[in-house]
């Protein structure tokens, strides 16, 4: 099939969320403005998630999976997905359903003039601690990256695959996707989207990995920005 869009869903111990996630994704594929498929990446889950993913994907042709041998982290899950995608556009969605797949359509409203569009969870449905730590983390990141995004950690994004495949691998990758597209002289935009409470399962984030981890990753980004190689071939012979 001539798919135009692949939705990446990293999964780590989310068996309680998966039945509703599967249904939400199936419903969206029926109404999506682009012919779409789904790539679920299990990041070494120790619950029933891998078995549920395999069973569902084997029964639904628009769904595919990658299963990691152990937990490598969300950045690795996204990079592995980027390496396996063959559609012009890709998107990213968390398995906890605090953002919904149908809201990709909001992002696509800005896709004609941009290479990456990210959501902005302006009205967040999280705990006070999570909101405060994320706000501080975003402020620190903006100082380093100058991407001027309010909510780069929003787990709802669309990216042109040609840009995604040029993003180098490092831990915390998901926090720097807009900045990495800017390094390629790409165009980025942000648009407000709805945010929903987590209905099941447990958050994998705390103050350490919401603030201290991103702070350390910022220094890695600064080094990468100075060393990043970006080029475009003008002409070649076959």
Domains of the chain, first to last: 5-227 (3.90.550.10)
Residue 209, pLDDT above cutoff 80: no
Q: Report the distance separating Cα 73 and Cα 69, nearest Å.
A: 12
pLDDT of residue 44: 96
Most confident among 14-23, 70-79, 208-217, 220-229 (mean pLDDT): 14-23
Tell me the β-bridge partners of 93: 156
- Residue bearing the bigger pLDDT, 140 or 91: 91
According to DSSP, residue 211 is labeled: I
Residue 238, token pair as written in the block: 């076959």
pLDDT of residue 203: 56
Q: What is the pLDDT of residues 147-204, one digit of tens each?
A: 667 777 788 999 999 999 998 877 777 778 888 898 899 999 999 999 887 666 555 5
Helical axes 128-145 vs 213-227, angle rounded to 10°: 20
pLDDT of residue 14: 94
pTM (two decimals):
0.80
**Span 19-32, average pLDDT:** 97
pLDDT of residue 69: 95
Q: Report the distance separating Cα 220 and Cα 32, nearest Å.
A: 37
Q: Residue 23 class from Cβ within 10 Å (0-12 exposed, 13-18 middle, 19+ buried)?
A: exposed
Q: Report the distance separating Cα 90 and Cα 175, nearest Å.
A: 17
Across all residues in the chain, what is the average pLDDT?
84
pLDDT tier at 95, thresholds 50, 70, 90: very high
H-helix segments, the chain = 18-31, 49-59, 74-84, 104-108, 128-145, 161-164, 177-183, 207, 213-227
Residue 109, pLDDT above cutoff 70: yes
């Amino acid at each position: 099939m001539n798919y135009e869009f692949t939705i990446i869903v990293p999964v780590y111990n989310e068996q309680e969320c998966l039945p509703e996630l599967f249904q939400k994704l199936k419903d969206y594929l029926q109404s999506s403005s682009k012919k779409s498929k789904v790539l679920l990446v299990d990041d070494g889950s120790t619950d029933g998630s891998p078995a549920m993913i395999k069973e569902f994907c084997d029964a639904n042709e628009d769904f595919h999976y990658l299963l990691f041998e152990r937990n490598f982290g969300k950045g690795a899950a996204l990079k592995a997905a980027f390496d396996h995608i063959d559609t012009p556009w890709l998107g990213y969605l968390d398995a906890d359903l605090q953002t919904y797949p149908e809201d990709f359509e909001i992002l696509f409203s800005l896709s004609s003039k941009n290479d990456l569009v990210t959501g902005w969870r302006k009205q967040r449905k999280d705990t006070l601690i999570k909101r405060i730590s994320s706000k501080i983390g975003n402020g620190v990141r903006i100082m380093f990256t100058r991407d001027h995004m309010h909510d780069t950690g929003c787990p709802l994004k669309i990216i042109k695959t040609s840009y995604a495949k040029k993003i180098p691998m490092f831990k915390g990758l998901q926090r720097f996707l807009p900045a990495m597209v800017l390094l390629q002289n790409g165009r980025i935009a942000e648009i407000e989207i709805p945010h929903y409470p987590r209905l099941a399962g447990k958050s994998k984030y705390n103050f350490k990995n919401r603030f201290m981890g991103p702070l350390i990753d910022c220094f890695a980004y600064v080094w990468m920005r100075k060393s990043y190689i970006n080029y475009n071939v003008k002409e070649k012979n076959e």
